[in-house]
Amino acid sequence: MFDLTGRRALVTGAGHGIGAAIAVALAEHGADVVVHYGHSAGRAAAVVDRIAALGRRAVALPADVTDTGQVDRLLAEATGHLGGLDVLVCNAGHLVGRVAVGEMSDEHFARVTDVNLTATFRTVRAALPALRAAGSGRIITMASLAAHNGGGPGAVAYAAAKAGVIGLTKGLAKELAPDRITVNALAPGYIGDTDFHATFSTPQRRAATVAALPVGRGGTAAEVAAAAVYLASAEAAFVTGTTLDVDGGAAPR
C-alpha cells in the first residue's frame, strides 16, 4: 500500500465526482486534505466528514478557479490550514456545454479554455512557493480521453483545452524537475458513476460508449483516484511528464 502519511494535499473540484474520490483516497493513505469546491458547499462538507472519519485533517474551501485573486487566496488559506503543501491535484474543470464549432462563440471557447487549461496554470503557479518550500512535491493535472481523440459531438473546445493540459504538464515537468517536483496528468475515459456523462450525454450515447470499450464496462471514480494515489506517492518519484490513461483501453495507442 502506498503510504502518504504526513503528506499535505489540495484537491481542486473535490466536492463531488472524481475530485471527491481522489480527496478521500489520499486521506485513506494517510494524507491531510483541503477539499476545494466551486458551488457544491454541501457536498464538499460531506467529503470533509468522510476524511475526518478516517482520522485525517480536512477542510473545505471555496474559490472560483477562473479568478486569479481567488486562486491565490485559496492557496494561501490551504497552506495555512495544512502548514504547507506536498501534493496538488488540479481536478477542477468543466465541459460547460456541447456546442458545434460553426455555432460556437468566442466567449464559449474562452470559457471552456479558462476553466480547464488556464485554471490549471494559475493554480500551479500559486502553489509553487509552498511546493518548493517543502523541498519536493507532486502535481497531478486532469486531462481527458478527449485530449487524445477529439472528444464527442460538440466538445471541440473541451478537447482542445484538455490537450493543452497535457502540453502544460510536459512543460511543467521539465521546468520543475530541479525542484524535485513531479508533474503528471490523468486522462479519464468514460467514468460512469459521476455527474459528467449524466449531464452532457444521452442514455443512448452512454450505452454506445460503454459497448465500444475494450474492457466492456465504464470506469469508476475510485479507479481514477487509485491512479492519483500512485502518482502522489514516493514510488512515483521517477515518473514525470507523463499522462496516465484511465479509460478501459479506449485511447488510441
List, by residue number, the catalytic residues: 158
Answer yes or no: are the C-beta atoms of 71 and 65 closer than 8 Å. Answer: yes
**Which residue type, as a one-letter code, is found at position 89?**
V
- Tell me how far apart the alpha carbons of residues 152 and 159 are, in angstroms, rounded to a whole number: 9
Task: Give me the DSSP letters along 72-134.
Answer: HHHHHHHHHHHTS-SEEEE----------GGG--HHHHHHHHIIIIIHHHHHHHHHHHHHHHH
Q: Hey, what's the cell of 189? A: 475515459
Other C-beta atoms lying within 10 Å of the C-beta of residue 212: 11
Cα–chain center distance at 36: 11
The helix or strand, by DSSP H or E, that contains position 61, with its residue range, turns out to be strand 58-62
The helix or strand, by DSSP H or E, that contains position 185, with its residue range, turns out to be strand 181-188
- Closest by CA to 13, choosing from 33, 37, 32, is 37
